[in-house]
Structure 1
């Protein structure tokens, strides 16, 4: 029930001068990532000032670095004291107290339209799977997911995404990753429990309880099998209208309920 290791240091030393430039860069990257765990935590303070002006609430937020911690290992890209991170502003918020009166010096009224979220790229999709907790509203589930690897693991996430492309649930448009019609229709058709990350959080908490000897393996497996059987029953009862078959993959056609004959 414990983690498996992909790369770990050994007692054997080697002459790194024999490495090529590319090999040396990779070695240094791996070494820095490994050393991070032994450094202090990166600490920052979140600040927020709420100001009421003429009945309107104006909010300003800021993050101040308290200690760089492990980020000192990445001085060229990640040292926040050099303002390389957009989340941390060089301009500091004033020290204010609750109820303190302030004067509005200037104001601008700007008319804008909201824009939809950007499409995922390979990098942002992997990041979203790792930080899946940010897409969850339930505080208890969010807490569990924050303490896990998210959806999948470092070893399986790329394979999961590749399989979604292979089954034509996802497609590429330039660098953007977009859901296909069949992908969207499948999400809509499946039971809600199967398309939200709550189940992952529930299983992770139970697996942690097993590793701590607070729960028996059989106590985890029996309700899991019952739950899977119920989900399969619900899936079988779904009325998948407008489906066609491409190869061995079923696709939604969306042609007003009529079926299109497959040419493959």
Structure 2
């Protein structure tokens, strides 16, 4: 991730990746790799990382913007400019929101080969909670910190709750029923 510029052919993009010292930060790189390994997208073979069949399927189906390491580098550059006071946060927020909306629309028609994506869950795999927009309080400002937004969740157990999006800074949760 630090030397990703070696795999980019466009010289301007290569320069961006060199200037930003790759993608991710020292703090996040190890965690990202471990998450990808835990989810079955990467495996370590003799000290080298290799994509799994699920990893290849995911990368092949993602939109070009999300496959391109330059996208992440540009985001990190923009965040650096915000930190230096050279870019208003609202500009970055607007750009990210527009891009995310376009990406979500584009992904609606994508069909994954679930057999490659590990659709057969392991017996001890923990099911994930699902976001439920219909729960009372979903989308409302957090009553505790007033910075986060409450997100409705329906757990695999059937229990329902709304919790603050500012987690872990704010751990406010309200159970429903």
Per the normalisation by structure 1, the TM-score is: 0.42
Local SS of the residue matching 2:96: helix
1:133 is displaced (CA, Å) by 1.5
Give the Cα–Cα distance (whole angstroms) in 1 for the partners of residues 4 and 114 of structure 2: 31
For residues 174 and 215 of structure 1, do their structure 2 counterparts lie closer, same or farther at Cα, with a shift above 3 Å needed? closer
Give the Cα–Cα distance (whole angstroms) in 1 for the partners of residues 88 and 69 of structure 2: 24
For residues 246 and 200 of structure 1, do their structure 2 counterparts lie closer, same or farther at Cα, with a shift above 3 Å needed? same
1:230 is displaced (CA, Å) by 1.4
The question of whether the paired residues in 1 share the 8 Å contact of 2:2 and 2:22 is answered with: yes
Query: 1:151 maps to which residue?
Result: 23
Residue by residue over 1:87-130, the C-alpha shift from the partner in whole angstroms, topping out at 9 and shown as x without a partner, is xxxxxxxxxxxxxxxxxxxxxxxxxxxxxxxxxxxxxxxxxx11
The question of whether the paired residues in 2 share the 8 Å contact of 1:141 and 1:201 is answered with: no
- Which of the numbers 163, 175, 178 marks the counterpart of 2:35? 163
Local SS of the residue matching 2:21: coil
RMSD: 2.1
Query: 2:109 maps to which residue?
Result: 237
The question of whether the paired residues in 2 share the 8 Å contact of 1:130 and 1:150 is answered with: yes
Give the Cα–Cα distance (whole angstroms) in 1 for the partners of residues 17 and 78 of structure 2: 13
Q: Indicate yes or no: 2:74 matched with 1:202.
A: yes
Long gaps (5+) in structure 2: 127-177
**Higher normalized contact order (CA 8 Å, seq sep 6+, divided by chain length):** 2
Local SS of the residue matching 2:43: strand
1:194 is displaced (CA, Å) by 0.7
- Which of the numbers 218, 235, 255 marks the counterpart of 2:90? 218
Give the Cα–Cα distance (whole angstroms) in 2 for the partners of residues 156 and 242 of structure 1: 28
Give the Cα–Cα distance (whole angstroms) in 2 for the partners of residues 240 and 215 of structure 1: 38
Count matched residues.
121
Q: Indicate yes or no: 2:9 matched with 1:132.
A: no
